[in-house]
Chains A and B, each alone.
Chain A
Amino acid sequence: MDFSFIVVQLISGLTMATFLFLIASGLTLIFGVGKVFNFAHGSFFMIGAYVGYQFSSVWGQSFWLSLVCGGLFAGLLGMVAEYFFLRRIYGRADEGGFQILLTYSFILILDDLVKLVWGTEYKSLAKPPALSGAINMGGIVVPTYNVAVIAIGLVVVVAAWWLLNNTRGGRIARASALDREMLSVLGVNVPMTMTLVFGIATALSGMTGVLAAPLRSVTPGAGIEVIIDSLIVVVLGGLGNFWGAWLAALLIGEVNSFAIVLVPKWATLFSYLVMALTLIFKPEGLFAPRRVRRV
């Protein structure tokens, strides 16, 4: 294994990590702020991809417009789901069970919706022409599009960090994760905050769907597949921990990438192995901050 190959393999792992993180970040945000586990998060990814396909492949619009529209549509749909359905189960004694049932039903409904509108055939979306080539860095060939995906992932990490720490909205979101009652006493519309957070998270998932579409096949049921991988990332990162999700995505991406080289027959096992070991030895998540006991 020479040096340039290690670099190539690192970058491959980074591409996978970026997609994992982009999906897991929304899941983490919703869990962090509202303690809601949105099992249907991957379905918003799928919806985004289909809307992107509609704009780009059917209506011939630019990729970037499709990206924005896919995100907007998934975001709006997410807000509708939160406002009309999820909101009704908050605070119930058995909220956890209802969350799973309700968000799982979203998966079934969205899958059927996609089949009704677009059919069951695989759909495909082209890359933007400017990003369709490859960059050759002294023998290390990396597709331009993959580099762009990695860059977009970095921008999202930095932007989300900045928004959460430096804006009023970010502070409210962080505060509502800690004490919703106090926040509402202070005059903040907490339910509206949750709807907005849900919208932002599903918009992010929808955009990621469009971003992933030129590399994958757009197909009904895609939501379930991405949710399982991002679940691993969210659990490893520590539920609701944004930075944890980022580090966990990097870890899973790279573990996977090098397992493929070293033990190709068992490569798919490793991400599950990492998760199992984490659950046994550090069930609160690899990157979870030390717990502060509230008195």
Chain B
Amino acid sequence: MLTSALAQDKVIKIGALYPMTGRSGIYGMDSVAAAEMAAEEINSKGGVAGYKIQFINTDSKAKPDYSVTVAKRYISDDKVNFLFGVVSSAVGLALTEVSKQEKKIFIGTDHAATELTVQNLQPYYFRVSNNTFQSMAAGALYLKELAQTKPWKTIAYIGPDYAYGHAQIEELKFNLDRFGVKYQMVGEYWPKLFESDYTSYITSIMQAKPDILVSGFWGGDTVAFIKQAAPYGLFEKSLYFHPDAGGNYELLSAMGDSLPLGLVLSARHHNNWPDTAMNKDYVSKFHKKTGRYPTYAAEGAYVGVYAIAEAVKKVGNPNDTDALVKALEGLKFQQPEDPEGFTSYIDPASHQIVQVQAIGVTVPNTAFPPATRMLGQWKVYKADELLPPKEWIEKNKK
């Protein structure tokens, strides 16, 4: 008893809330696997400052109220040092309140609602994966470049009818204006989240004839939409552009040969970009551990555990919360998604990680089965160009 109690004193306890069931279950399972992988790597090298990392997860069921209850129990009973994780932005927004009240650091991974690092930012929240603003800024830059080689005029948007979809298109429009891109919006379509039948949307979009169709779907909705739209010839008429979550490996693996070539997609992490030893190592280790290649959510969780380790290394112990907040602000460390010559860092002002984003085109590639298409012909956007400008933050904080 005594030894185990003593052993427990030298532990960095991370209390995570990832969904293990339901529509976003796969993101949760991948995140947990990757976070455990990071913890094992760190512990096998002797831990940090004499502490071992202990990672625990409870199924968040993607439900905010339930997650809040678990988070409070984590803090009061389990005495965790960090709150961690979550896929759903709704859960993230609920947990950031708990984190603020209890003065417990919350490391956010994967959830992308920009407001967490703008309107709702509080001192104890940090996000280690891109938000939708960064993806949409990269998207706007891509469209700007495209206009020079392949002139286009009109845009239509289709995405799920909830906060995530609406925020995306507003952020894209803002960034197009900011980078001086001329465009005409010819339609906005809002099917409900998890809609199963897109046929009427597809025929209506084809009538509107946009040059660019911007998509804000995620997960199975993307699969269903592409499958239904392909035989109509939509992808020959409009450029399908999906800069936030379209290039997720999950889509590439689920669709195989039925994924059309030439779609322009991105995601928060890619298994075949950047071509660095660190990324290759991360992807192959994940594959060895789980038997599958990771979806983008996994890398956020992997990096999140390393962020904690780096901060504890600086401070020397996991209990000095204020010192840890200072250590995390501006923290710079190498990640699988960092290309050669760039290191991700946490912006001290917004607590948002600043990263490079790459946008690619679907091309044949069988290196990551069962996918038979991966992204290629990359265009890479510099990290600091993608952050929200001051005037946008001020406007949205009001």
The chain A residues found within 8 Å of chain B, CB to CB, are 1, 5, 8-9, 12-13, 15-16, 19, 111, 115, 119-124, 126, 132-134, 141, 143-146, 212, 214-217, 219-222, 225-226, 229, 256-257, 260-261, 264-265, 267-268
Contacts and interface: CB of A to CB of B under 8 A. Distances in A.
A9 B161 contact: no
Contacts of B253: 121
B227 A12 contact: no
A144 to B, nearest CB: 7
A217 B196 CA distance: 8
Contacts of B258: 124, 126
A214 B227 contact: yes
A217 B232 contact: no
Contacts of B221: 217
Contacts of A219: 23, 220
Contacts of B195: 268
A16 B199 contact: yes
A260 B158 CA distance: 11
Contacts of A144: 231
Interface in B171-190: 187-190
Contact of B22 (A5, A214, A221, A257): A221
B196 A260 contact: no
Interface stretch (B69-77, B202-210, B333-341): B202-210
B196 A212 contact: yes
Interface string B278-322: 000000000000001000000000000000000000000000000
Contact of A13 (B22, B26, B189, B200): B200
B256 interface: yes
B64 interface: no
Given A121-B26, A134-B233, A141-B233, A5 B207 contact: yes
A226 B161 CA distance: 18
A260 B197 CA distance: 12
8 contacts: A12-B200, A119-B26, A120-B26, A217-B227, A225-B196, A229-B196, A267-B190, A268-B161
B199 A15 contact: yes
B223 interface: yes
B211 to A, nearest CB: 18
B250 A121 contact: yes
B378 interface: no
Contact of A268 (B192, B224, B231): B192
A41 to B, nearest CB: 15
B204 A122 contact: no
A12 B202 contact: yes
A215 B228 contact: yes
Contact of A124 (B191, B200, B254): B254
A134 B202 CA distance: 14
B29 interface: yes
Contacts of A121: 26, 250, 253-254, 292
A257 B197 CA distance: 10
A57 B188 CA distance: 35
B192 A124 contact: no
B227 A215 contact: yes
Contacts of B23: 219, 221
A216 B196 contact: yes
B26, B188, B203, B258 — most chain A CB neighbours (10 Å): B203
A16, A133, A229, A260 — most chain B CB neighbours (10 Å): A260
A110 to B, nearest CB: 13
Contacts of A141: 232-233
